[in-house]
Structure 1
């Protein structure tokens, strides 16, 4: 396959890995960025979501758009101000793309957006499929607004795919390094009750799924981007300790302590989301990392020697 892929949020964890993998497969890649003068190995077009500005050449360049832009959930406490930014950075950026796509003549064939499995809220140990969007906490509201803004592209007759990502495993950022740090220092512990489910995906599988969603026209609508085998937090921490060749030493970190440190953001680690990968599997997509121990081994193998 070849073609020109325009990525928003290209300098983020997934954007960087996805760009590399697309280039390896013969695609051309361009990023949208607020500061296109920053040194980047990718062609970069300017946009400024707050100003409502986008370089139209970006839209006329693209065969496909992958929309990953959004303020990080993990960098700051969730003040009211920060919450607004978390929602607006996702919704307003999609609205800007929609406006430009509806006004400019282009040859974009498809639009792939990221969302999160937090749309399901805390669902205990029930296995959840794509239809059950009953979550009503802050993150669920973020995901719903995000998806609605992305789904507008469908009104422009663009094949639109929304991938609801689970916890993306990578040692270059995201949740894994934060969970691995205490384990490495022999201070690993289960969080909360430890019974809450974590639905995860290896970053390479996540990127392969984005590429598949670009290439395979049967992809349309919403899919859970999670490995087929979610685990509880207790199982996750144990597998991580095994992969890093460390014991889990400490008793559970109680929920109230996490609330004190993280505030509302503790929802991310304390809510239980056990998500089904069936819809993705039915497309014929195969995961390279089906099981957590294989995924963690791919990162920590060299540490065992």
Structure 2
């Protein structure tokens, strides 16, 4: 199988590529710099530039590229970049695929559980309506750009990913040093849900959907047991053998430090469950947060 992958330098893309190549699959990555070999091809999503000859070779396309959500304050320019990096890239690929003579059999496109907004205690699955806020608006626009590929008959999956647990960075990267100092604490009320998935399960689920003809539409890539921020804090402290602080970090302090990202990316969250993934008979390696954290760390 030949798989085209974007976002290959990111945490998820690099893990997926290692897994695919480890099994002898052919992977071609789309890169924004001069290619360094036959396994790379140049693209510029902002200008709609893409080598369609490379796409003709593909059995599958996995599109993961997009600017990071966290790490920087959401200035107006940053918010435009977050939106455009997702919309432009997805539009470029989906439209190109729709016009291919030899179309890939499956197109997997990144998305996020931010689609659901803040659901508090309400459980949501792939049939639930969208929420409100900047992230929910971004995800709706992002997912809509996959439609040309889907309308052209390509099996299209929207990967609504939650908080991916990895010892190599991602969501755990900025908080591990704090917890290792024994300074971990709940954030805000601590009651907001943080839907999570171990990186091995993320890769396993994506590979499952590459082959499963029933996989299509939105799919939540989260473990079956989402936890609150307070429970996540306690569990991470126990895994690291470190105490956690009894008092929470106030929401106003987080907003001062992180700006709008704190309000949408930290202090609220959806209680999302992987109903469709379970219906596809995907078997999770990690359904217990403590086991998952111990494994990735």
Q: Common fold, TM-score beyond 0.5?
A: yes
SS at structure 1 position matched to 2:258 = helix
1:196-211 map, 5 Å: 196-211=192-207
Structure 2 unaligned runs (5+)?
Answer: none
1:151-300 map, 5 Å: 151-249=147-245, 251-266=247-262, 267-300=264-297
Contact map agreement 1:22 1:29 (CA 8 A) in 2: yes
User: What TM-score, normalized to structure 2?
Assistant: 0.96
Contact map agreement 1:72 1:86 (CA 8 A) in 2: yes
Does residue 96 of the first structure (1) align with residue 92 of the second (2)?
yes
Does residue 72 of the first structure (1) align with residue 64 of the second (2)?
no
Against the structure 1 CA distance between its residues 140 and 25, is the aligned structure 2 distance closer, same or farther, given a 3 Å change threshold? same
SS at structure 2 position matched to 1:113 = strand
Cα distance in 1 for partners of 2:66, 2:129 equals: 21
> Cα offset for 1:278?
2.2
> Cα offset for 1:104?
3.6
Contact map agreement 1:32 1:47 (CA 8 A) in 2: yes
Structure 1 unaligned runs (5+)?
Answer: 301-305
Contact map agreement 1:188 1:250 (CA 8 A) in 2: no
> Cα offset for 1:202?
0.5
User: What TM-score, normalized to structure 1?
Assistant: 0.93
Cα distance in 1 for partners of 2:53, 2:33 equals: 16
SS at structure 2 position matched to 1:50 = helix
Cα distance in 1 for partners of 2:69, 2:268 equals: 15
Cα distance in 1 for partners of 2:223, 2:241 equals: 23
Cα distance in 2 for partners of 1:229, 1:104 equals: 40
Against the structure 1 CA distance between its residues 250 and 178, is the aligned structure 2 distance closer, same or farther, given a 3 Å change threshold? farther
Match of 2:52 in 1: 56
Cα deviations across residues 237-272 of structure 1 (Å, max 9, x unaligned)?
111011111010351001100000111111211103
Cα deviations across residues 160-190 of structure 1 (Å, max 9, x unaligned)?
0112101011121211122211110121111
Contact map agreement 1:31 1:43 (CA 8 A) in 2: yes
| 4+ aligned runs moved over 6 Å, structure 1 | none
Cα distance in 1 for partners of 2:8, 2:117 equals: 27
Cα distance in 1 for partners of 2:42, 2:67 equals: 18
Contact map agreement 1:226 1:275 (CA 8 A) in 2: yes
Contact map agreement 1:125 1:272 (CA 8 A) in 2: no
Aligned length in residues: 296
SS at structure 2 position matched to 1:114 = strand
Cα deviations across residues 51-70 of structure 1 (Å, max 9, x unaligned)?
22111222112110001011
Cα deviations across residues 77-133 of structure 1 (Å, max 9, x unaligned)?
111111111111111111111232233422411101111001000010111111222
Does residue 31 of the first structure (1) align with residue 29 of the second (2)?
yes
Match of 1:81 in 2: 77
Cα distance in 2 for partners of 1:36, 1:56 equals: 17
SS at structure 2 position matched to 1:210 = helix
Contact map agreement 2:114 2:269 (CA 8 A) in 1: no
Cα distance in 2 for partners of 1:104, 1:287 equals: 35
Match of 1:7 in 2: 5
Cα deviations across residues 142-166 of structure 1 (Å, max 9, x unaligned)?
1111111123311111000112101
Cα distance in 2 for partners of 1:58, 1:141 equals: 32
Q: 1:140 aligns with which of 108, 131, 136?
A: 136
Measured on the aligned residues, the alpha-carbon RMSD in Å equals 1.4
